[in-house]
Amino acid sequence: MNRTTEGWLNGAIGVLIFSGSLPATRVAVAGFDPMFLTGARASIAGLLALCLLAAFRERRPTGGELLSLLGVALGVVVGFPLLSALALTRMTSAHSLVFVGLLPLATAAFGVLRGGERPRPGFWFFALAGGALVAGFSLARGGGAIASGDLLMLGAIFVAGFGYAEGGLLSRRLGGWRVICWALALSLPAMFALTAASAPEGLGAAPAESWLALAYVALFSMLIGFVFWYRGLALGGIAAVGQLQLLQPLLGLCLAALILGETVERSLLFVTLGVVAAVAGAKAFAK
């Protein structure tokens, strides 16, 4: 298997894992405050990350690497989880998921700015087409209105795009699993403090499904998914592999229908075909 193919395979596994993140977050916020959820998921993942780093006796990051890791932490450990959790108190998971279709554009843009990548013009055509398709689908579902939840999700996409690009760039030197583990470890003191400060009095009364959802976003969304995702970005290119995120909202909508019982219209099939075509076209012009 060549480097590019391995990158796309790892990226696809990461996207599959991430597809369950927003439906799981929607379930979790039914029982937990968004602030507590953000702190708890990062604290659980951070403890596991510390164990991995200690077990493999990993060297400490250099000064320059620490700055990049802080950027990763702000984007994907704090920013996206908190903003998306707040948004999901105002909208359904199906509505929030389609905003993720804009994430490849944010990731690609930051990849160009930070990583010096220069994909061909055809790449941008298919990337914009895919993003417009998903954005149009989102607006159609929301009746064309822009609500506070929409703005929160747009903010979440912006910071996640930065965190993805920064992590993908740093993964070329540290390796994907080290990047997310160090970002979680650096965030751990602050996330512990946030968890303690926002813990509700009736924590034990939260429903079992909310605890299961917390376990998913802590173990898979916050740690395991990033191991595959950052490796995919490092091997296959940030702008190119980032287009796989166009599939995430469609996969997530299917999970939302299965887990939350949300209705998925027949038109979703046509959107899915269009998104797959956009991803294939972007891949062809990525380099």
The pLDDT of residue 205: 83
Q: Is 33 exposed, middle or buried (0-12, 13-18, 19+ CB in 10 A)?
A: middle
Write out 25-48 in H/E/C secondary structure: HHHHCCCCCHHHHHHHHHHHHHHH
Q: What is the pLDDT of residue 247?
A: 84
8 Å CB contact between 244 and 107: no
Q: Could you give the C-alpha distances from 143 to 95, 99, 136, 223, in angstroms and in order?
A: 11, 15, 10, 35
Q: Under a CB-based contact definition with an 8 Å cutoff, are residues 136 and 98 in contact?
A: no
Q: Give the C-alpha separation, 139 to 102, whole Å.
A: 13
pTM comes to 0.87
Residues 6+ apart with CB under 8 A from 52: 177, 181
Residues with Cβ within 8 Å of 15's Cβ and at least 6 positions away in sequence, in order, are 229, 244, 245, 247, 248, 251
pLDDT given for residue 141 in this prediction: 66
Tokens representing 63 are 């000064």
> What is the domain partition of the chain in residue ranges?
3-198+205-284
Asked if 65 and 239 touch (Cβ cutoff 8 Å), the reply is: no
List the pLDDT tens digit at each of the 287 positions of the chain.
788 889 999 999 999 999 999 999 999 999 999 999 999 999 999 999 999 999 999 999 998 899 999 999 999 999 999 999 999 999 888 778 778 878 888 888 888 777 777 778 888 888 888 888 877 877 776 666 567 888 899 899 999 999 989 988 898 888 878 999 999 999 999 999 999 999 988 888 889 999 999 999 999 999 999 989 988 988 888 878 888 888 888 888 888 888 888 776 777 668 777 887 887 788 778 66
pLDDT at 144 (0 to 100): 62
